[in-house]
Amino acid sequence: MNNWLTLILGLPTANATERMRAWRALKASGAAVLRDGAYLLPDTGACREALASVERDILAINGIAFVLPVVDPGGERFIGLFNRSEDYSKLRTEIEECRGQLTTDNALFTTKQIRKLRKAYEQLVNIDYFPGKPKQQIDAALQELETAVSRALSADEPYSRDLPIPALSLADYQGRIWATRKRPWVDRLACAWLIRRFIDPKAQILWLNQPQDCPADALGFDFDDATFSHVGNRVTFETLQASFALQEPGLNRIAALVHYLDIGGVQPVEAAGIERVLAGLRETISHDDHLLAAASAIFDGLFAEFAKEEQPNE
C-alpha cells in the first residue's frame, strides 16, 4: 500500500462534545493514531470521505483540520498499524463463550446474541483494510455457532448427503401426504410453504413425533433418509427447489434467507427480522398447523415483495 491519507486536526479545548464526536468517527473508520491530533488511513474512496466528513465538522466549529496525502515508497511502513488480530481474538472469545453456554433451552435467546456478534464482526471487517486468516477464522466460527443453534432449535436436524438431485415432474407429486418432524423451524416451515404454494397445492402436511413414524406412503422431508433433505450445501428448501426446477422471480431470495437461517453463511439483510418473527411465532403458537399458517403468511409477503423487486422496470 503506497498511498495513504493523514488527518491533522486541532480542536477548541472547550468543546468536549465535538472532540468526542470526532474521536468516535475516527475510531469507527479504523484510523490509526500517529500521534495526538494525527490520524492515518489508506487512500481509498471510503476512507477519503470519512476523513473529509470529520474535517468538515471540525472546521464548522472553528477548529483546525487538514487532510493530506502521504506516500510510502516501500508500501509496508504503515500496514502494521492496522493489525486487527487483537480485536478478532476478543470476538473469538465471545463466540466461544456463547457456544459453551448454548443449550436447547436458551437457543432462541442465543440467536439474539449471534446477531450482536455478527454485527460486531461486520463492523470489524469494514475497518480490516488488510484482512488475513483471523477474518476467515472468525467467519468460520460464527457459521459453526449458527449451525449449532439451528441444531439446538431443531432436534434431529438432518445431515447433508452428497447425492445427485434428479429432475422430477410436478404431475407425479399431486395430492400427496408430506411428512416432517413436529415443532418445525425455518427450513421445515419454508418447505411446507413451498410444497403447498408451488408443488402440491392440496398437500397434506403430517407432523411426526420422530422420523421413524413416517408412513410408507408419505413423502418425508427434512430428516435423515427422507425423500427430500439436505444435499451437499443445499438445505431441504433448496433441494426441493432444484428437484422441481422452481425458478419463479423472488424464490431464490427466499432460498438464500432459509439457507442462512438454517445453516449460516452469507447473511441477507432481512434475516435478523424474519428470524425474530418466526422465533416469536414458534414460541407463542403451540399447534403446528397454526404455526405453519402464520409462517406461510410471512413467506407469502416476502415472496410478493421479492418478486416485485426482481421485475424489470417498465
Element (H, E) at 19: helix 16-29
pLDDT of residue 14: 67
Task: Identify the CATH number of the domain defined by range 3-81.
Answer: 3.30.70.240
Strands 177-181 and 219-220, how do they pair?
parallel
pLDDT of residue 312: 67
Helix, strand counts (H, E) of the chain: 10, 7
Tell me the backbone φ, ψ of residue 283, rounded to 5 degrees: -75, -30
> Is 286 buried (19+), middle (13-18) or exposed (0-12) by CB count in 10 A?
exposed
Element (H, E) at 10: strand 3-10
| DSSP3 helix / strand / coil % (the chain, rounded to 5) | 55, 15, 30
Contact 3, 43 (CB under 8 A): yes
Element (H, E) at 32: strand 32-35
pTM comes to 0.62
Nearest to 308, CA basis, from 247, 249, 268? 249
Contact 266, 256 (CB under 8 A): yes
CA–CA distance, 157 with 148 (Å, rounded to integer):
10
286-290-295 Cα angle (round to 5): 105
User: In this structure, what is the dihedral angle of CA atoms 86, 91, 97, 102, given to the nearest 10 degrees?
Assistant: -160
Nearest to 281, CA basis, from 296, 302, 303? 296
pLDDT of residue 246: 97
Tell me the backbone φ, ψ of residue 144, rounded to 5 degrees: -65, -40
pLDDT of residue 67: 95
Boundaries of every domain in the chain:
3-81, 83-153, 170-310
CA–CA distance, 217 with 199 (Å, rounded to integer):
17
Q: Could you please report the per-residue DSSP string of 92-153?
A: HHHHHHHHHH--SSSHHHHHHHHHHHHHHHHHHHHT-SS--HHHHHHHHHHHHHHHHHHHHH
The size of the chain, in residues, is 314
Q: How far is CA 273 from the centre of its chain?
A: 11
CA–CA distance, 228 with 235 (Å, rounded to integer):
10
Q: What is the mean pLDDT of each run of 10 residues along the chain (314 residues)?
A: 92 76 91 93 95 91 91 91 95 94 84 87 94 92 82 73 92 97 94 98 96 95 94 95 96 94 84 88 94 98 93 63
